[in-house]
DNA sequence: AAGCCGGGGTT
DNA sequence: AACCCAGGCTT
């Protein structure tokens, strides 16, 4: 007679249903670490091409450490949460300082920039089979439903409770497989909305299923409110076709990325309000120019906590500007997606 | 403890 | 429009 075992069940399920992902067939901490940073708050399908590009560009952690931050940010362009890229680069240099040797345990891994409790547990278990449980969004969902726990997953008490429970259900003899399995189970079977419980191997012992609470769990409180912003980008075009880019400050949104100079406002602006603005004068001085609006209707760019209403103004000037860059130089700079989309449309670039 | 930090896919 | 995603850092 055998007793029902949570870890055995999800690991058996995993061996049948697991996806074939390039960072799963290795114990090398470098690709494991790289994949985990890329996948933070990012879906597998979105992160996958970035993983391939990074491995191609930087086959070893030393290659990554030796790159410039701008090179790393450019490769990261479009993925979001750009502090991950800066931390990734810093951590690569930390590792290079150790002759390329990663810390070999959970505690040591936590010293790497950008590596928190989840990522340290993931690397420690996947690379070294250290019995430390990962707790990500998938794990919160699976455990909260299976055990019927309604503590909010974004409050200190709930976080501690789930971390403790996750370690209790972890089979220490199968740490790597167990951690992979519970996350894959959450990603493919115990999905956020309308999971197909009929085919779930845990259906007979799932608390949420028994009590009809599947769609109420996990509990997460507080919602981020969205702030509306209006950006009027000044797209300089010099006689030779060059333009002006400025780098954003090293803190805040899109830190360190490049964009056209812009005027912030509370809504639409008239041409004379643009050309009379201090920012405009700072960029173009007393040069002669011809201005035109590129998009009459604002382009909406939605982030998790902001909605940006973007207007692009084409400012053709009749003299060269000292700090202008060519289009090819511009394309080497890391930019956010709003910029990337405009650049591709305006200069009619392929891809 | 709470807020900040992107972009894309689903519902 | 709201929610979610192989979260971590800062204040």
CA of A263 to C1' of C4 (A): 33
Which tokens hold the place of A246? Answer: 């400025």
Same domain, A146 and A247: no
Let me know if residue A326 belongs to a domain.
yes
* Boundary residue ending a domain (A194, A216, A238): A216
Strands A262-265, A258-259: pairing kind = unpaired
Q: How far apart are CA A74 and CA A68, in angstroms?
A: 10
Residues 238-267 on chain A lying near strand B, CB distance under 7 A: 251-255
* Cβ A209 to strand B below 7 Å: no
Question: Over the stretch A15-51, which tens digit does the pLDDT of each residue have?
Answer: 999 999 999 989 999 999 999 999 999 999 999 999 9
Nearest nucleotide from residue A84 CA, by C1' atom: C8
Same domain, A212 and A293: no
Minimal CA–CA distance to A124: which of A47, A201, A27? A27
Residues 220-259 on chain A lying near strand C, CB distance under 7 A: 220, 223, 226
Residue nearest to nucleotide B3 (CA to C1'): A224
Nearest nucleotide from residue A156 CA, by C1' atom: B1
Residue A271 per-residue DSSP state: H
Residues with Cβ within 8 Å of residue A25, at least 6 apart in sequence: none
* Cβ A188 to strand B below 7 Å: no
> Does A36 qualify as catalytic in the annotation?
yes
Same domain, A145 and A270: no
Mean pLDDT of chain A: 96
Contact by Cβ (8 Å): A99, A61: no
Q: Which residue has the tokens 């799932």?
A: A206
Q: Output the DSSP codes for A150-204.
A: -S-TTSHHHHHHHHHHHHHHS-GGGHHHHHHHHHHHHHHTS-SSS--GGG-TTGG
Same domain, A27 and A69: yes
Let me know if residue A268 belongs to a domain.
yes
Let me know if residue A221 belongs to a domain.
no
Nearest nucleotide from residue A248 CA, by C1' atom: B5
Residue A228 per-residue DSSP state: E
Give me the domain span that covers residue A202: 6-216
Cβ-based neighbour number of residue A194 at 10 Å:
8
Let me know if residue A1 belongs to a domain.
no
SS3 (DSSP) at A24 = coil
Residue length of chain A:
351
Cβ-based neighbour number of residue A279 at 10 Å:
14
Enclosing H/E stretch for A51: helix A44-57
Cis peptide before A218 (omega within 30 of 0): yes
Minimal CA–CA distance to A139: which of A173, A120, A105, A167? A167
Let me know if residue A222 belongs to a domain.
no
Let me know if residue A264 belongs to a domain.
yes
Same domain, A209 and A264: no
* Boundary residue ending a domain (A176, A195, A216): A216
CATH at residue A156: 1.10.340.30
Q: What is the CA radius of gyration of chain A?
A: 25
Let me know if residue A21 belongs to a domain.
yes
Same domain, A181 and A232: no
Same domain, A43 and A136: yes
Same domain, A173 and A311: no
Same domain, A154 and A237: no
Same domain, A11 and A115: yes
Let me know if residue A338 belongs to a domain.
yes
Phi, psi of A299 (to 5 degrees): -85, 125
Q: Which residue has the tokens 């692009």?
A: A312
Task: Report how many domains make up chain A.
Answer: 2
First to last CA, chain A: 60
CATH at residue A279: 3.90.79.10
Residues with Cβ within 8 Å of residue A313, at least 6 apart in sequence: A232, A233, A234, A235, A274, A291, A292, A293, A294
Residue A325 per-residue DSSP state: B
Helical segments of chain A, H only: 6-17, 29-38, 44-57, 61-66, 69-76, 83-96, 106-109, 117-128, 137-146, 156-169, 175-188, 207-211, 271-275, 278-284, 327-330, 337-346
Same domain, A277 and A199: no
* Boundary residue ending a domain (A191, A216, A241): A216
Contact by Cβ (8 Å): A244, A323: yes
Low-confidence ranges of chain A (pLDDT < 50): 351
* Strand C nucleotides where any atom sits below 7 Å of a protein CB: 2-9
Tell me what pLDDT residue A224 has: 78
Tell me what pLDDT residue A351 has: 44
* Cβ A90 to strand C below 7 Å: no
Contact by Cβ (8 Å): A338, A310: yes
Cβ-based neighbour number of residue A316 at 10 Å:
14
Same domain, A210 and A231: no
Question: Over the stretch A157-174, which tens digit does the pLDDT of each residue have?
Answer: 999 999 999 999 999 999
């Amino acid at each position: 007679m055998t007793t029902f075992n949570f870890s055995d069940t999800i690991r058996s399920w995993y061996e049948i249903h697991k996806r074939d992902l390039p960072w799963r067939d290795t114990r090398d901490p470098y690709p494991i670490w790289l994949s985990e940073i890329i996948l933070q708050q990012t879906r597998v399908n979105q992160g996958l091409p970035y993983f391939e590009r990074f491995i191609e560009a930087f086959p070893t952690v030393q290659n990554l450490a030796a790159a410039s931050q701008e090179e790393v940010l450019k490769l990261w362009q479009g993925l979001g949460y750009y502090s991950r890229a800066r931390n990734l680069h810093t951590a690569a240099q930390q590792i290079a300082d150790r002759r390329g040797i990663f810390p070999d345990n959970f505690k040591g891994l936590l010293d790497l920039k950008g590596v928190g409790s989840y990522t340290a547990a993931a690397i420690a278990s996947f690379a070294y089979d250290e019995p430390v449980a990962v707790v990500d969004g998938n794990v919160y969902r699976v455990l909260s439903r299976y055990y019927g726990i309604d503590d909010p997953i974004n409050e200190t008490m709930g976080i501690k409770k789930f971390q403790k429970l996750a370690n209790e259900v972890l089979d220490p003899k199968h740490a790597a497989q167990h951690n992979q399995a519970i996350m894959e189970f959450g990603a493919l079977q115990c999905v956020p909305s309308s999971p197909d419980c009929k085919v779930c191997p845990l259906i007979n012992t799932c608390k949420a299923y028994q009590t009809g609470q599947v769609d109420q769990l996990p509990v997460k409180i507080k919602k981020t409110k969205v702030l509306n912003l209006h950006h009027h980008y000044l797209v300089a075009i010099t006689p030779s076709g060059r333009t002006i880019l400025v780098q954003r400050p090293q803190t805040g949104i899109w830190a360190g990325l490049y964009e056209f100079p812009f005027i912030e406002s509370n809504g639409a602006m008239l041409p004379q309000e643009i050309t009379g603005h201090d920012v405009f004068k700072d960029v173009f001085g007393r040069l002669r120019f011809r201005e035109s609006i590129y998009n009459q209707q604002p382009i909406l760019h939605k982030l998790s906590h902001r909605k940006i209403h973007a207007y692009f103004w084409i400012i053709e000037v009749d003299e060269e500007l000292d700090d202008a860059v060519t289009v090819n130089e511009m394309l080497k700079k890391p930019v956010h997606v709003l910029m990337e989309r405009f650049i591709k449309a305006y200069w009619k670039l392929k891809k």
